[in-house]
């Protein structure tokens, strides 16, 4: 899917890797977060200590992994990468933590999906660079303290609210990443086009920027599809062979089923069910999730933030509600109401 939250193939992973900004200066947008991170890294460097633990919160594709890599790179430290789902037991975390080299940056993606037992071990590790390892079972069990090398934890989560308070409190700094505006997305695309040595019209860039759900990952992905389309379909020769114009963007967007707001199939499915089956709501998250056959967490952390941001949906204490703009955009007529 063109808007699926995560990279979909090895090819896309490699493509993303090639386009990742390597420094804070190259990282587009998120001005506040960049300034805050810069300060945090400089202060640590002046005091010659490991930077504070950092929590990065926000929907997929906004640059959390990229920032973790930048933190390591800018502070001249190596980076270890893991993810919540890979940490099923406290032992998995103990193995990871005890193998860190001094000063290393440990990135844990989807940190809210780590096992509970590991979470508790992480509290102590973050605070005191120490863990207690349980040996044996039952009455004979003892715990052996183990000192760790100092490290900086960078955690990423699609929703900070899913983290238990004691874990959230142990991060020295939490950054909430926002969706990017069109001008920022154009800069992301310009940079990508330059790195890929693509010849893209201004209008084409602007059009992609307006259709990528405020998300750099999707912007780059659309650019890649549009590039393919232009390569196959333009008849130009010489220098302009493969040049990307607005027509290629429109054709590729149509082919991949992205509408004029950048909504994808799942976004539209959620909105249509909300409008047509539940008369615009209010309807509870779980009911909505079951109706579209998705997990509630995906609806809440991937689909809804953007629908809220563009004003199609609101969250109320009684449930999700479609806005008047949603009724207009989908051209659905409300039961019991006439248009004129």
Q: Which residues bind ligand ADP (CB under 6 A)?
A: 16, 19-21, 27-30, 60-66, 156, 188, 216-217, 220
Alpha helices in the chain (DSSP H): 10-19, 31-46, 64-74, 90-98, 116-128, 165-169, 182-195, 202-209, 216-233, 246-255, 265-272, 285-292, 296-298, 304-309, 324-330
Confirm whether 64 is a catalytic residue.
yes
Q: Which candidate in 170, 211, 213, 217 is catalytic?
A: 217
Q: Which CB, 23 or 333, lies closer to ligand ADP?
A: 23
Q: Which CB, 60 or 245, lies closer to ligand ADP?
A: 60
Tokens of 278: 């539940």
What are residue 153's phi and psi, to 5 degrees? Answer: -90, 130
> Least Å distance between CB 268 and ligand ADP?
22
Residue 318, preceding bond cis, omega within 30 degrees?
Answer: no
Confirm whether 279 is a catalytic residue.
no
Confirm whether 158 is a catalytic residue.
yes
> Least Å distance between CB 240 and ligand ADP?
26
Q: Which candidate in 109, 227, 264, 267 is catalytic?
A: 109
Tell me if 322 sits within 8 A of 312, measured CB to CB: yes
Cβ-Cβ contacts under 8 Å for 330 (sequence gap 6 or more): 268, 271, 272, 275
DSSP type of residue 133: E
What are residue 174's phi and psi, to 5 degrees? Answer: -115, 125
Confirm whether 77 is a catalytic residue.
no
Interatomic CA distance for residues 156 and 170, integer angstroms: 14
Q: Which candidate in 50, 65, 157, 215 is catalytic?
A: 65
Tokens of 327: 């009724």
> Least Å distance between CB 277 and ligand ADP?
31
| Nearest residue to ligand ADP, scored by beta-carbon proximity | 63
Interatomic CA distance for residues 307 and 172, integer angstroms: 31
Q: Which CB, 21 or 281, lies closer to ligand ADP?
A: 21
Tell me how long the chain is: 340
> Least Å distance between CB 204 and ligand ADP?
18
Q: Which CB, 62 or 205, lies closer to ligand ADP?
A: 62
Q: Which CB, 62 or 160, lies closer to ligand ADP?
A: 62
> Least Å distance between CB 337 and ligand ADP?
40
Q: Which candidate in 157, 158, 174, 215 is catalytic?
A: 158
Confirm whether 314 is a catalytic residue.
no
The residues carrying an active-site annotation are 64-65, 109, 158, 217
């Amino acid at each position: 899917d063109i808007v699926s939250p995560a990279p979909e193939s090895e090819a896309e992973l490699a493509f993303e890797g090639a386009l990742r900004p390597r420094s804070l200066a190259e990282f587009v947008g998120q001005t506040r977060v960049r300034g805050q991170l810069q300060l945090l890294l400089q202060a640590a460097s002046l005091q010659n200590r490991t930077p504070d633990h950092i929590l990065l919160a926000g929907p997929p594709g906004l640059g959390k992994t990229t920032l973790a890599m930048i933190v390591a790179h800018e502070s001249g430290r190596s980076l270890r990468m893991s993810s919540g789902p890979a940490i099923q037991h406290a032992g998995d975390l103990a193995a990871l933590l005890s193998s860190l080299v001094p000063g290393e940056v440990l990135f844990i993606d989807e940190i809210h999906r780590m096992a509970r037992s590991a979470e508790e071990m992480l509290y102590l590790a973050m605070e005191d660079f120490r863990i207690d390892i349980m040996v044996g079972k039952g009455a004979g069990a003892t715990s052996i303290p183990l000192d760790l090398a100092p490290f900086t934890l960078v955690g990423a989560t699609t929703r900070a609210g899913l983290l238990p308070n004691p874990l959230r409190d142990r991060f020295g700094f939490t950054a909430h990443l926002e969706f990017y505006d069109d001008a920022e997305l154009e800069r992301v695309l310009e940079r990508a086009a330059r790195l890929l040595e693509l010849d893209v019209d201004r209008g084409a860039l602007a059009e992609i920027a307006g259709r990528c759900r405020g998300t750099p990952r999707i912007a780059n992905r659309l650019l890649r599809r549009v590039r393919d389309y232009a390569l196959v379909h333009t008849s130009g020769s010489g220098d302009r062979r493969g040049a990307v114009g607005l027509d290629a963007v429109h054709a590729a967007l149509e082919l991949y089923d992205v509408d004029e707001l950048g909504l994808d199939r799942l976004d539209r499915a959620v909105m249509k069910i909300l409008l047509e089956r539940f008369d615009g709501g209010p309807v509870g998250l779980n009911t909505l999730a079951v109706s579209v056959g998705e997990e509630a967490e995906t609806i809440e952390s991937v689909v809804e933030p953007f629908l809220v941001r563009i004003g199609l949906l609101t969250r109320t204490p009684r449930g999700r509600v479609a806005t008047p703009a949603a009724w207009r955009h989908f051209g659905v007529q409300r039961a019991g109401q006439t248009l004129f």
